[in-house]
Amino acid sequence: MTKKLDERLHASGAAVALTDTSSRAILKNAAPILFGLLLEQLIGMTDAVFLGRVGEVELGAAALGSVVFFFFIAQALGYAIGAQSLMGRANGSRDYAAFGRVFRQAGLFLFSLGLAVAVLLVLSADAIMSHIADSEAVSKAAADYLVWRGVGMPAAFFCVLLRTFFIAILETRILVWSSVVMVATNCVLNWLLIFGWGPIPPMGTAGAAIASALSEVACAIFLAGKIVRDGEIEKHSLAGSLTFDRDMQLKLFNLGRWLMLQESVSIGAWIYFFGAVEHVSERALAISNVVRQLGSLLFLFVHAFGTTCGSIAANLYGAGRSDLINAVVKRGLSLSFATMMPVVILFGLFPQWVLGWFTNLPEVIDASEPAFYVMLASYIVTTPPFFYYFVIGALGFARPSFITCIASSVVYVAYVAFITAATTSVALIWTSDTVYGFCLGLGTWYIWRHVEWSPARGEGRRILKPEGEIF
C-alpha cells in the first residue's frame, strides 16, 4: 500500500478498522455477530423446546416446515452475501455512492422476491409437504407451519438486507440487540400461541410459525429505526432512486446467482436428509430435529468468525491491502476453535441434560444420545472447511464456491440415500455431515491455494480473483 493511501485511510478514521488483523479486532466484530446469531438461533430452538412438550409429530413437523422455509430464506442469504461483498468493498474504498446504489437495488430485489415467495407458500404448502413426508399427521402440521412462515417472508427478507448492511460497515454490535428483540417477541408469542391462553386457542405448529414471523417483523422495525436514528441514510447514501437499475441488478445477480444457487443446493440437500429420515420413522425425525438444533449452536461459531473475517477481508481488498488477508483468516480460524471447543466439551460431558432442553420425552432423549455424539465429532473435524467456505463467499469467489457446493452436495445426497437404505440407526445416518464437510474441505483448499494474494499458489497456477467489481 502506498503512503498516500495510508494517509487517506488515517484521515478518514478507517485505518484501524481496515488494517488491524489482531485477535482483538476480530473478536470485536465477531462477538456481536456470534451473540446475534445465537439469539436468532433461539427462535428455532424455542419453537423446538415448546413443541417438544406437545409431541413427537409436532417436533418433527417443525423440522420439516422450517427446513423448507430456510430453502427460500437461503435465496435471500445467497443474494445478500453478494451484496455484502460489494458493499464491504465500497465501504473500504469510501465510495458511498456505490454503497447506496448497491443497497437500494438489493432491497428492491429482496422485497419483491419476498412477496413472490409468500404467495407461493400460502398457495402450495400442502402440496410441498405431501411430497416430502409419508406421515399424514406430520405433513399437515408441517404445512400449517410453512404457510404462516411464508406470510412473514417479506419481513424476513428485509431483515436479511438490514443485517447485511451492518456487517458490511463492520458495525455488528447492533445485531445483538436486534436478536434480543426477535427472541423476546418469539418467546412470549410462542407461549401464548402454541398452548393458548384465555381467548387464544392452542395453535400448535401454526402458533410457533406465527410467533416466528411476527418476531421478524419486530426485528425489521428495530434495525430500520437504528439506521434512521444514526444518520446512516445520509452517510452511506441509502436514499435515492428506487427505479429498477438494470446494470446494478445484473452485477448483483452475476455475483449473487452462484451464491443463491449454492444455498439452494445446500438447503435442498438438507431437505432431502430430513425427508429420508422421516421415511425411517417419526421418532428418527424428532431425534434429528433435536440434534440439528444443537448442531446449529456449534455452527454459530464458524459462521460468526467466518462471516467476520470475510467482511474484514472484503474491506481490506477494497482498500488495497490484500497482503493482510491471510493473517486475519488464520487468526479467525484459531479463534473459532478456541471459542467452540469449551461448548463441545460441555455438551459431551452432560448429554442428557443438554438433550433435555428440547423435549421431556425420556425415550426421545435416550434415543438421541448416539447421534448427538456423532454430530459433536463431525463439527470438530469440519470447522476449517466451513470457516474458509464462509470467507471465500464473503470475498466474492462465487463461481468456484458454487462448484464446490454442488460437488459436495451430490456426494452428500448419494451418501444419505445409501446409508438410510442400509440402516435405521440415526447415529450412522448422521455420519453424512462429516462426509459433506470432507468434500467441502477439498474444494475450499483448492480455491484458497489459487487466490491472487496466496503465497502458496506458485508459478503457472490459475489465479482466482473476487468477482463483482463495481469501481
Q: 199, 58 in Cβ contact below 8 A?
A: no
Where would I find the H helices in 133-152?
136-151
User: What's the rounded Cα separation, in Å, for the pair 165 and 182?
Assistant: 18
| Residue partners of 349: CB distance under 8 A and separation at least 6 | none
Residue 457 in domain: no
- Torsion angle (degrees, nearest 10) of CA 319, 323, 329, 332: -80
User: What's the rounded Cα separation, in Å, for the pair 305 and 29?
Assistant: 9
* Whole-model pTM over 0.75: no
Residue 82 in domain: yes
Residue 374 in domain: yes
Residue with C-alpha cell 416466528? Answer: 212
| Residue partners of 64: CB distance under 8 A and separation at least 6 | 129, 132, 133, 138, 142, 274, 275, 278, 285
Residue 454 in domain: no
Digit-by-digit pLDDT tens for the chain (471 residues) are 334 333 333 333 333 444 556 777 777 777 777 776 676 666 666 666 666 666 667 766 777 777 788 788 878 877 887 788 788 777 777 777 878 888 888 888 888 888 999 999 888 888 888 877 777 777 888 888 888 888 888 988 988 888 888 887 777 778 778 888 888 888 888 778 877 777 877 777 788 888 888 988 998 899 988 888 877 777 766 776 677 778 777 777 777 777 777 777 877 887 888 888 878 887 888 788 788 878 888 888 888 888 888 878 877 777 777 777 888 888 888 888 888 999 999 999 998 888 887 777 788 788 889 999 999 998 888 889 989 888 887 777 777 878 888 899 999 999 999 999 999 898 999 999 899 999 999 988 888 887 765 554 444 445 555 554 544
> How far apart, in Å, do the first and last CA atoms of the chain sit?
18
CA–CA distances in Å: residue 361 to residues 43, 212, 357, 380: 21, 24, 11, 28
User: What's the rounded Cα separation, in Å, for the pair 433 and 175?
Assistant: 29
User: What's the rounded Cα separation, in Å, for the pair 136 and 150?
Assistant: 21
User: What's the rounded Cα separation, in Å, for the pair 17 and 28?
Assistant: 10
Cell of 369: 444420545
What is residue 395's predicted lDDT score, i.e. its pLDDT? 76
In the chain, count H helices and then E strands. Answer: 18, 0
DSSP-derived 3-state class of residue 199: coil
- Residue-by-residue DSSP string for 322-355: GGGHHHHHHHHHHHHHHHHHHHHHHHHH-HHHHH
User: Of 245, 274, 310, 261, which is closest to residue 433 (Cα–Cα)?
Assistant: 274
| φ/ψ of residue 94, rounded to 5 | 60, 30
Residue 470 in domain: no
Residue 405 in domain: yes
Identify the burial level of 201 via C-beta atoms within 10 angstroms of its C-beta, where 0-12 means exposed, 13-18 middle and 19 or more buried. Answer: exposed
Residue 30 in domain: yes
Identify the burial level of 151 via C-beta atoms within 10 angstroms of its C-beta, where 0-12 means exposed, 13-18 middle and 19 or more buried. Answer: middle
Residue with C-alpha cell 444455498? Answer: 263
Where would I find the H helices in 52-95?
56-93
User: What's the rounded Cα separation, in Å, for the pair 242 and 240?
Assistant: 6
What is residue 40's predicted lDDT score, i.e. its pLDDT? 63
Residue 382 in domain: yes
What is residue 471's predicted lDDT score, i.e. its pLDDT? 40
Domain count, the chain: 1
CA–CA distances in Å: residue 306 to residues 182, 220, 328, 338, 387: 23, 24, 10, 14, 5
- Torsion angle (degrees, nearest 10) of CA 289, 38, 350, 377: 70
DSSP-derived 3-state class of residue 22: coil
What is residue 18's predicted lDDT score, i.e. its pLDDT? 47
DSSP label of 10: H
User: Of 98, 64, 14, 50, which is closest to residue 358 (Cα–Cα)?
Assistant: 50
DSSP label of 65: H
User: What's the rounded Cα separation, in Å, for the pair 210 and 436?
Assistant: 33
DSSP lists the bridge partners of residue 144 as none
Cα angle 293, 294, 295; round to 5: 90
pLDDT tens digits along 268-327: 887 888 888 878 887 888 788 788 878 888 888 888 888 888 878 877 777 777 777 888
What is residue 143's predicted lDDT score, i.e. its pLDDT? 86
Which domain range does residue 251 map to?
Answer: 3-449
